[in-house]
Amino acid sequence: MESLFIQLLSTHGIAMVHAAPVITLASPMTAQAPLPLESNWFFTIVEYLATFFCGAIGGIAAYRHGFDDFAIMVAAWFTALGGGTIRDILIGIFPPANLSNYWYLGIAFASGLVAIIFHPEVEKLYWTTTIFDALALALFAVDGATKGMAYHMPAVTSVFLGLITGIGGGMCRDIIINEVPMVIKDRHLYGVPAFGASLLTVIVCKAYIYNFINFTGEIILDLVIVALVVAIRILSIKFDWVFPRAIKREKPISLHHFSSSHSALRHHQQQYRSTSAGHRTSLYRTKSDHQHPTH
């Protein structure tokens, strides 16, 4: 089509000064690393549910701040789809899957409506929403890391793509409603399990690429990773497992002690030098007195 357009311009006497820059988009490497979460109906349904509950949680957070219905819808959309959108933009997928897939858009819209209409009921389902929030964290982390590997990204990059996919939606929500992001505010295990899930997913993808496991084994291991992250997140909330803080120290390390010790050492050295010099002087004087006695 582009060559035909250039031929038509040349036939009408219009010269092309320079061609427009071509944006090279990422292409999936599905032959070597398929996307199990996007090609398996079970994971797809669970991911849709997790997206729905994530959006509802974001809408409820906006409702608690007294925002209007439009702001609630925006918060729900960013919470449900923000992490995946950031991931696709970083990879180079245009438009992002969350903007081109009508299912994701419809689920995000429905989650916002649920937050507007059924917010009293949703707020009572604390453990249900907590479980689905943990499930979304795990699924998005695994999906983001797998998608990074499938789109030719290095292993380290894929790990961080999985992390940003898992926590990106919540960060967008908290920034919109002017709160400290949960990954920083919540001391329970949240970002660490997402990072661990991304790292393990990259290892599983590498094992599949090098034919150590088959496609079914990859799905099973991804399922184990998701279950592990959900269990760690729920147990950390249930039993108040927190990440350690910085070590509390009452007094800072003072350089006065070291400086005083260094000054004492220098003073001792100077005193030793002066004593030695005085001793040598007295010896010289004694010798000169024996050679040239004074009367």
Q: What pLDDT digit, counting tens, does each position of 224-240 carry?
A: 999 999 999 999 999 98
How sure is the predictor about 50, in pLDDT bands with cuts at 50, 70 and 90? confident
pLDDT score recorded for residue 258? 52
- The answer to which of 49-53, 57-61, 83-87, 140-144 has the lowest mean pLDDT is 49-53
pLDDT score recorded for residue 32? 46
- The answer to which of 6-15, 47-56, 68-77, 111-120 has the lowest mean pLDDT is 6-15
pLDDT digits (tens, 9 = 90+) for 241-257: 887 887 887 777 776 65
How sure is the predictor about 22, in pLDDT bands with cuts at 50, 70 and 90? very low
- Phi, psi (degrees; rounded to nearest 5) at 188: -70, 160
- The answer to which of 28-37, 65-74, 84-93, 184-193 has the lowest mean pLDDT is 28-37
Question: Of residues 157 and 243, which shows the higher confidence score?
Answer: 157
Structural domain boundaries of the chain? 43-238
Rounded Cα–Cα distance for residues 27 and 293 (Å): 104
Mean model confidence pLDDT for the chain: 78
Q: How far apart are the first and last CA of the chain?
A: 122
pLDDT score recorded for residue 14? 40
Rounded Cα–Cα distance for residues 61 and 75 (Å): 8
Question: Of residues 159 and 47, which shows the higher confidence score?
Answer: 159
Q: Give me the helices (H) in the chain, please.
A: 2-11, 36-39, 41-64, 69-91, 97-100, 102-117, 119-124, 126-150, 155-176, 182-185, 191-209, 215-238, 256-291
Residue 17 above 70 pLDDT?
no
Both tokens of 46, joined, read: 């669970």
User: For residue 103, which of 120, 122, 81 has the smallest C-alpha distance?
Assistant: 81
Check: pTM over 0.85? Answer yes or no. Answer: no
User: For residue 234, which of 95, 113, 138 has the smallest C-alpha distance?
Assistant: 138
Number of CB atoms found within 10 A of residue 202's CB: 23
Question: Of residues 269 and 197, which shows the higher confidence score?
Answer: 197
pLDDT score recorded for residue 6? 42
pLDDT score recorded for residue 162? 94
Q: What is the mean pLDDT of residues 62-70?
A: 92
How sure is the predictor about 273, in pLDDT bands with cuts at 50, 70 and 90? low
Q: Give the percent of the chain with pLDDT over 90.
A: 35
Q: How far is CA 230 from CA 195, 197, 236, in A?
A: 13, 10, 10
Residue count of the chain: 295
Q: How far is CA 255 from CA 88, 104, 114, 248, 250, in A?
A: 51, 59, 60, 19, 16
pLDDT score recorded for residue 127? 81
Q: What is the mean pLDDT of residues 78-99?
A: 89
Q: Quick one: which H or E segment has residue 251?
A: none
Residue 70 above 90 pLDDT?
yes
Task: Report how far Cα 38 is from the mean position of its chain's Cα atoms.
Answer: 22
Residue 207 above 90 pLDDT?
yes
- The answer to which of 25-39, 194-208, 234-248 has the lowest mean pLDDT is 25-39
